[in-house]
Structure 1
């Protein structure tokens, strides 16, 4: 039995999800879904495209995005996080949409229009470590970004 060739490449992966989405859905499903669609259509998706990203997986309130440049991935994440407070203006705090994001630079497996592997898995785990409205990134991302974006990094220490 011969194994099929597996295509791999280096990519920056951004994982994002909406903080408290289940709670928001519990309060008002249709309104929450419509707001998520509006945020995506008007802000999230255009910002991803502007920075050269491609959303390759949507899981309800979660998104996986592939970038050919780690700097562009970080710029995109920062722009989205900085833009959301303005989009939430005038809305009660308990109805705010806030994203948590994780960014990893790593090897991924190309599977048609989808991507898999440790490069993707680590981005998702990092997203889980991010504070609401924050971005968690791997050491590889931190090193690649350096001081190029004028953002401060807070070292969370080694995680396993």
Structure 2
């Protein structure tokens, strides 16, 4: 009896612009303050991911503090990279110096292999090497990328010379893109869509959630009654307003919460505040604010327990 030999499907190849990015000094920041670093990373990643989508890119992979994305257009990749750096520059301006997080970005154009939605190969390796060469807050590109965009007259370039790349026989000529970090780059035709309008605002203004989260975390850290009052004065209808009012109603329970293991930065801060409470209103406030949140099941169970105890 003969059996057919199963062969793996051939890997797809395509020519794309590859954007590789990671956070400068991430390990050091994690060593100093894991919770604060993860909260900042979550805020920054929201900006990065949304701008990649608005810039007609596709996120191919993420690992810790790194991002790998592909673009069908070299121009789109460069515009997106510059928009990301400008948006993060503004977001960092609202944070304490020790919380500021800078990105390094490398862009290459080349042939890549595709497997399970992830790109890899020499083209990716070169982009990653350029990212490692980039200064925090900057964008480093190959000669090929420079040649695609130089005639558009939108950017000037600093020649960084030839660099060797691991496992690549030829050296790579690198260039740094010169841009104004305080400006805002429009992402082409996408700016006409509702999604792009939101992203354009993110690129030109500090995210309000990030500012409010910073404020709330400082309030939580102090645990002082006057700090909760100050939060309500500034954000009377804020995300954490119900929690602040509840804490002020019972000042004896004010304490610094311990971080939860998962969820978005804003949701984590909210859950940190309510999870040890014996007041059903606290869990009801969480469910109203995050109806599909990571801790929905736990909140519903705890709410049911507290209501049963009260009814009993």
Other-structure match for 1:98 = 102
Per-residue CA deviations over 1:3-31 (Å, capped at 9, x if unaligned) read 75232110000000011111111111112
The aligned residue for residue 82 of structure 1 is: 86
Q: In the alignment, does 2:152 pair up with 1:153?
A: no
Q: Secondary structure at the match of 2:60?
A: strand
- In the superposition, the TM-score normalised over structure 2's length comes to 0.49
Looking at secondary structure, tell me which structure has more strand per residue.
1
Q: CA deviation at 1:32?
A: 1.0
Check if 1:54 corresponds to 2:58. yes
How many pairs align?
159
Residue 159 of structure 1, CA deviation:
1.3
1:63-112 CA-to-partner distances (Å, cap 9, x unmatched) read: 10111111000000001111222101132333211000000000001112
1:10 equivalent in alignment to 2:15: yes
Q: Which runs of 5+ in 1 are unaligned?
A: none
Q: Helix, strand or coil: the match of 1:153?
A: strand
Q: How far does the alpha carbon of each residue in 1:98-154 deviate from its partner, in whole angstroms, 9 at most, with x for none?
A: 000000000001112111110111000000000111111111100011142612210
Partner in structure 2 of residue 115 of structure 1? 119
Query: Which stretch has the larger CA shift, 93-102 or 113-122?
Result: 93-102
CA shift at 1:156, angstroms? 0.6
Q: Which structure carries more relative contact order (alpha carbon 8 Å, separation 6+)?
A: 1
Contact 1:10–1:106 (Cα < 8 Å) also in 2: yes
Q: Which runs of 4+ in 1 moved over 4 A?
A: 1-4
Q: Does 1:27 align with 2:3?
A: no
Bigger Cα displacement from structure 2, 147-156 vs 60-69: 147-156
Contact 1:75 1:149 in 2 (8 A): no
Q: Which residue matches 1:134?
A: 138
Q: Which has the higher helix share?
A: 2
When structure 1 is superposed on structure 2, of 149-158 and 122-131 the one drifting more is: 149-158
> Which has the higher Rg, Structure 1 or Structure 2?
2
Is the 2:19–2:77 Cα contact (8 Å) retained in structure 1? yes
Q: Which runs of 5+ in 2 are unaligned?
A: 165-312
CA contact (8 A) 2:36 2:99 kept: no
What is the root-mean-square deviation in Å for CA atoms of aligned residues?
1.6
